[in-house]
Amino acid sequence: MALAAEYEVAGWAEAVETYFERGWTDGLPVVPATADAVRRFLDAAGRAPGEVVLTEPTRRRSITAEKIAINAVLAGCRPEYMPVLLAALDAMADPAFTLHGAITSTGGSATLVVVNGPIRPRLGFNAGGNVFGPGWRANATIGRAIRLVTLNCLGAQPGLLDRSTQGHPGKYSYCIAELEEENPWEPLHVDRGLPRGASAVTVFAAEGPHNVLSHYGETADAIIVALADTMACLGSFSPGQSFVVLAPEHVRILARDGWTKPRLREALYAGARRTRADLKRGGKLEGAVAPADEAAWVHRGGGPEDIHLVVAGGGAGGHSAFIPSWSRERNSLAVTREIR
């Protein structure tokens, strides 16, 4: 017996249209959520329908396991995706993430979800070619389920609570897995303090990925110049955190040339900087440019530890990605949770 309100409709096609008519979709058709389907999802998660699994800290809206399961069905998830979705939502409810700000701000962020550990092959996550693109059910539907929860359960409807000036396509779905097999260093979840054998999600309120093309240098130095320059771009410049998703080709060159993760973080932090004069000229800081501003350097982030490094992407191509934080200050940080 479902706790949620039920609506009787004439058939499957009418059910799809009913979800549109009531404003319960992201603009794409959803899979109608029947009581049977929702029960299978709750069973897979080992949760009771009325169990509160997420409380948004600012508006104190509590969401039950049943509502999460309904939205997971709508998104096209499989029941076994539920633990990943629940871990991601739990991470988003951490005060460090600033959920209410992230889903309502003019900045228009989406929740980047990075999946690590043995659950990746088990659920069929893509960590390889076209990692940010379409084609893999686990990536596509878990990212979509998070958006549907923010729309349907947290009130972040466009134009109502979601006041994004532009938003970005990751707001439909923004879920990747790390290609740990091509990572010569520790994977993200180990950096974040979990054992290597654990499965984990890391969430980050993020802008879209900025492509970092570096084909011809074929040295670590060339790749680092291109990465740091992209991270210093004025539009996204802030004291916020960064994700850098390294292509396998780039990470192979970096490892070949003797680079380690800590050293790479330091080099990127050192290189991703602008003068106060630039920041003022670009409207990033208030006030007129003073002579001393021309030689006063400001770095992106609070230190090298604010740069999170992940490996993902196809085997061919020198395309990495820089993903800036939504937060222009230090109000929203990456949060990691083990998937249990």
Instruction: Report the interface residues with another protein, using CB under 8 A.
Output: 2, 4-12, 14-15, 18-19, 24, 32-35, 38, 57-63, 67, 70-71, 74, 98, 100-102, 105-106, 148, 152-155, 327, 329, 331-332
For the record, the structure tokens of 180 come out as: 């740990």
- How many Cα atoms sit within 13 Å of 46 on the Cβ side? 3
Please say which residue, 106 or 211, places its beta carbon nearer to another protein. 106
* Least distance between another protein and beta carbon 189 (Å): 26
Please say which residue, 81 or 136, places its beta carbon nearer to another protein. 81
Please say which residue, 109 or 199, places its beta carbon nearer to another protein. 109
User: What is the strand order of the sheet 307-311 is part of?
Assistant: 210-213, 319-324, 242-246, 307-311
Please say which residue, 74 or 272, places its beta carbon nearer to another protein. 74
Q: Are 223 and 259 in contact (CB under 8 A)?
A: no
* Least distance between another protein and beta carbon 208 (Å): 19
* Least distance between another protein and beta carbon 33 (Å): 5
CA 254 to CA 271: how far, in whole Å? 16
Q: Are 200 and 192 in contact (CB under 8 A)?
A: yes
CA 38 from chain centre, in angstroms, equals 25
CA 305 from chain centre, in angstroms, equals 18
Which amino acid is it at 179? Answer: L
* Least distance between another protein and beta carbon 7 (Å): 5
* Least distance between another protein and beta carbon 70 (Å): 4
Relative to beta strand 210-213, strand 319-324 is antiparallel
Please say which residue, 63 or 138, places its beta carbon nearer to another protein. 63
* Least distance between another protein and beta carbon 73 (Å): 8
Q: Which helix (H) or strand (E) holds 203?
A: strand 200-206
* Least distance between another protein and beta carbon 58 (Å): 5
Secondary structure letter of residue 207 according to DSSP = -
* Least distance between another protein and beta carbon 245 (Å): 24
231-233-238-239 Cα dihedral, nearest 10 degrees: 30
Q: Which helix (H) or strand (E) holds 202?
A: strand 200-206
61: which residues sit within 8 A by CB, 6+ positions away?
55, 153, 154, 155
* Least distance between another protein and beta carbon 106 (Å): 7
Please say which residue, 70 or 190, places its beta carbon nearer to another protein. 70
Q: 246 forms bridges with which residues in the sheet?
A: 311
Please say which residue, 160 or 213, places its beta carbon nearer to another protein. 160
CA distances from 262 to 110, 186, 266, 290, 336 (A): 27, 11, 6, 35, 19
Rg of the chain, C-alpha, whole Å: 21
